[in-house]
Amino acid sequence: MATSLSLLLLLLLLSLFSLSPSLSQALTPKCSTLDHGSTLQVLHVNSPCSPFKTREPVSWRQDVVQMQSKDLGRLQYLASLVAGKSVVPIASGRQIVQSPTYIVRARFGNPPQTLLMAVDTSNDAAWVPCSGCVGCAATVFDFATSDSFKSLGCQDAQCNQVPNPTCTSSTCSYTMTYGGSTVAANLSQDTIMLANDSVPAYTFGCIQKTTGTSVPPQGLLGLGREPLSLLSQTQSLYQSTFSYCLPSFKSGNFSGSLILGPIGQPKKIKYTQLLKNPRRSSLYYVNMTGIRVGRRVVNIPQTALAFNTTTGAGTIIDSGTVYTRLVQPAYIAVREEFRRLVDANVSSLGGFDTCYTVPIVAPNLTFIFSGMNMKLPPDNYLLRSTAGSTTCLAMAAAPNNVNSVLNVIANLQQQNHRILFDVPNSRLGIARETCT
């Protein structure tokens, strides 16, 4: 009897280790799913629970430089959206493009298969790597085993909503660029489970081939506003409303939450108007009117903050960029006042030009929007080395080689805030919240 029990336990352990990384990790107590109702657990890609944390350990200094280099690719991608271009030049052949930093669990098909999908507020259609994909990660969606999977044809209306559609054997296929990568996918439908919510006949791209390094390994969940986005396809379920709370990079398990729909959203929250650019309607523009450093609202030319539908100028909230980028006049005004108040010798680190190697007392920093202010805690605008020997202002000017008209409020500045996207009422809410 004892021998049989030992053998049974051994077989059970072997079966656990043979699972895919995402599923085996999901079974460990620390990484067990916390999804419930219409709320999904949000993980940072470098979380201990993320199967994508594969890079070699590097020093704090190397980590900062690498992350900012990747961020540059993300900015180039956003610039391409603003400019309406399909292809963006990459500054260097060695450029690595930053894919979105946060992921959620989604289950596709019947029976359901778990994938960890990147959350991207500046994209629309969802896409996942499918079995047989060339250039995709090891974990893919095996559509052949799903009873509810369906390929869409060129006669289907959704085929007109994807870029560059083509027909092969009556299947609607399309290609697109994402940062420095290209994606070739077949337009498909299947059931998607988000927390406890089941969405039948969800339209997405079933990836057949990818090139480059910027495609999220297990797919992407687009939270933009155009027809194929999650908001548009689930309008009756979630009423085009969602919020997220992104945890601090320093938190133990890097876990936050994504709440879908109006139920469960905070009651005490301040709002600013959401603006819409008809040329790029998926981007979430807001009216930032100024920036306060310490007690002073710095002198920024109005043209540096003004919303312009023709040029794409203005300010967007983006979940996929790590460090806030401001157009040159705005950043210089913030930087100079910050330096004046700190009054210490300045050094640089990678693309950050306001760093200090001595202890400093940093001034407060506040983004001023129409109708509300967003006061940032120090962890949201300062980078501190693990040894405490270096501190940097964690924002920079938009590089000269990308569209320099766009201010991007990035996820480091958003961490430990509840960011509420209320599309029907054209408003964005922000409230302080401990996300972890």
Q: Annotated catalytic sites, by residue?
A: 120, 318
| 141-to-37, 83, 118, 204, 213 alpha-carbon distances in Å | 24, 33, 15, 12, 19
Q: Residue 57 in contact with residue 66, Cβ under 8 Å?
A: no
